Structure 1
Amino acid sequence: MAVIGYARVSSDEQHLDLQIDALQKAGCDEIFTDDGISAVAKHRPGLEAALDTLNDGDSFVIWKLDRAFRSMRHALDIWDFLKAKNIIFVSVTEQIDTGTAHGKCQYQIRAVFAEYELNLNSERTKAGMLAAKLRGKHIGRKYALSDEQIAEIRDVLRRKPDTTIVSLAKAYGVCTHTITRSLKRKASKRS
């Protein structure tokens, strides 16, 4: 009977080391991972591979419930899958072991609280992003063109009206939409 582990982190700033160390200490024969996968992602290649690997009588070990499940419904669906294959589920940090009646109850209760924690985190993130946006901070990916580059493009367009957006896009290594969006963004900031 195999002991299969699973670990996930959602961002590049996080590391799998802590989870992997704990899973190795828990006796996992094989550990599957998802690095940089959001908590709410529907497709998790590592989790899917781990679940596909499990056979009747194996154990499935994770570090913490919120590392594996995106919602209470997802946790209960996985629970149904594990029960059908007679697989024991273990969460290292929450000390859940579904090989016992108490562990089965804990699994279900903790799944509810894991979803609650996920929802709280989402609310805090949205509130923080809104506060930053209200302070004038840019939210999202870094702009492809700097303010200086946009000023240069405006200057070129003013001095040489026959210059095309296509030629500017090639010169700056971006697509034409990036040029037009950047010019509009800067124009709207000035008004």
Structure 2
Amino acid sequence: MGVYGYARVSTLAQAREGESLEAQSRQIDAYAVSKGLDLSADDIFVEAGVSGGVEFQQRPEGARLFNLVQKGDLIIFPKLDRAFRNTRNALNVLHDLKERGVHIHFIDLGGDVTGNGIGAIVFTILSAFATFEKERIATRIREVKQIKKAQGKFTGGRRAFGYEVVDLVKVPKPDEQKIIAEMKVRRGKGDSYRGIEKWLSEKKKLNISAMGIRHILNEAI
């Protein structure tokens, strides 16, 4: 029987500092000792700087471990969220490994979750909560961005035409605002977006698509 561990951190900063990875490795090692399992340091797969949103089999070390284990092997995870953040992926991987005869132990869930006991039930429930938490965080981030956008602050991505970013605040760019004003006048006189696109290219040496012009003028209303 092969015994393996799996540790993961999301950011490269965490990976460089190594504290979380070291702590997870110590937890895995201590758990193996407490269960009388023979685990070497080389058998702990370390995933550095990989988001939990990436499916387990798509991670470099996750894929290597997933393809390596065989019937009778055992994998130790320190925590549920080190392995999965997506309920569907969690349950698919669990089902696949269970069918192959691989045992999975989560330290934070009290041990083996591939059996039919309370650990398996808790695993299913907590996997759902992990997904809920991820979605809740994403929603909160979107809400914060909307608030910042309403306050005229820059929220990332490409700079909007007509503005420059100063200390993370959108500030009108006079020369581009003048062009937007001219675009409005032309549009008011009946020019098509394609016509304005051609005018910008020929007279202003600017390559902005008709769709982009429409967006700029809608935002400027």
TM range (shorter): 0.5 to 0.7
Per-residue Cα deviation, 1:97-134 (whole angstroms, up to 9, x for no partner): 32652222221121121112122212211111111111
CA-based RMSD? 3.9
TM-score, with structure 1 as normaliser: 0.65
Q: In 2, Cα distance between the equivalents of 1:80 and 1:39? A: 19
The counterpart of 2:51, out of the listed 9, 33, 37, is 37
Kindly state the Cα deviation for residue 51 of structure 1 after the two structures are TM-superposed. 1.1
Partner of 1:169: none
**AA at the equivalent of 2:82:** R
**AA at the equivalent of 1:69:** F
Correspondence 1:62-73 to 2 at 5 A: 62-73=77-88
- Match status 1:88 vs 2:68: no
Task: Return 5+ residue gaps in structure 2 as ranges.
Answer: 30-40, 166-172, 178-201
Per-residue Cα deviation, 1:80-100 (whole angstroms, up to 9, x for no partner): 012112222223344443265
1:31–1:53 CA distance, 2 compared to 1 (3 A): same
**AA at the equivalent of 2:164:** D
Q: In 2, Cα distance between the equivalents of 1:131 and 1:34? A: 33
**AA at the equivalent of 1:15:** Q
Runs of 4+, deviation exceeding 6 Å: 150-154, 187-191
How many residues align? The count is 174
Task: Return 5+ residue gaps in structure 1 as ranges.
Answer: 155-160, 166-175
Per-residue Cα deviation, 1:2-26 (whole angstroms, up to 9, x for no partner): 31314141x45x5143442233221
Rg bigger for which structure?
2
**AA at the equivalent of 1:4:** G
User: Does the CA-based 8 Å contact 2:109-2:123 persist in structure 1?
Assistant: no
1:34–1:188 CA distance, 2 compared to 1 (3 A): farther
Partner of 2:149: 133
Q: In 1, Cα distance between the equivalents of 2:24 and 2:73? A: 15
**AA at the equivalent of 1:24:** S
Compare relative contact order (CA 8 Å, sep 6+) and give the higher one, 1 or 2.
1
Partner of 2:6: 5
User: Does the CA-based 8 Å contact 2:57-2:66 persist in structure 1?
Assistant: no
Q: In 2, Cα distance between the equivalents of 1:132 and 1:38? A: 27
The counterpart of 2:164, out of the listed 124, 134, 147, is 147
User: Does the CA-based 8 Å contact 1:39-1:67 persist in structure 2?
Assistant: no
**AA at the equivalent of 2:74:** S
TM-score, with structure 2 as normaliser: 0.58
Correspondence 1:99-118 to 2 at 5 A: 101-118=117-134
